[in-house]
Amino acid sequence: MARQEDEAQSITQGRKSIDGETLAARHLDDKSTTMPTQRDPSNTLRGCQRILILGRTGSGKTTLARELAAAIGVPHVELDALYFGPNFSTAPLPVLRDRTSAAIAGDRWVTDGNKSAVRDLVWPRADTILSSA
């Protein structure tokens, strides 16, 4: 949205855009003016309903996910908590998949983790993917 406002201001002032294109030369039927604006999670999380946070071990995925979920008022789904049991025992694959499916069934959540065994469940449901790297 900010870029559209900048472009509109640039057109009225005859300046060039960020990418060097003369905005005054654009046609009003150009895709940039007819296509809906895509949201940019680096500027706002408005509209983000199901957020997946990826990153290396120890990169802060869980901390970021927990704080983000609390800030926007949605459940935090920690994939490691679904996978690991007492004394770092691990859940069998069918159990992990069932737990994950149930945890991400809601309309809004923030999850963190890199579990390839449930990637096919989580990634298609996520509307926003962030990296904590």
pLDDT tens digits for 109-120? 999 988 999 999
27: its two tokens: 């046609």
Distance (Å, whole) CA 74 – CA 107: 9
Per-residue confidence (pLDDT) for residue 40, from 0 to 100: 67
Question: Residue 31's pLDDT band (boundaries 50, 70, 90)?
Answer: very low
Q: Give the mean pLDDT of 19-25.
A: 38
Per-residue confidence (pLDDT) for residue 19, from 0 to 100: 39
Q: Give the mean pLDDT of 78-102.
A: 94
Distance (Å, whole) CA 97 – CA 102: 9
**Which residue type sits at 69?**
A
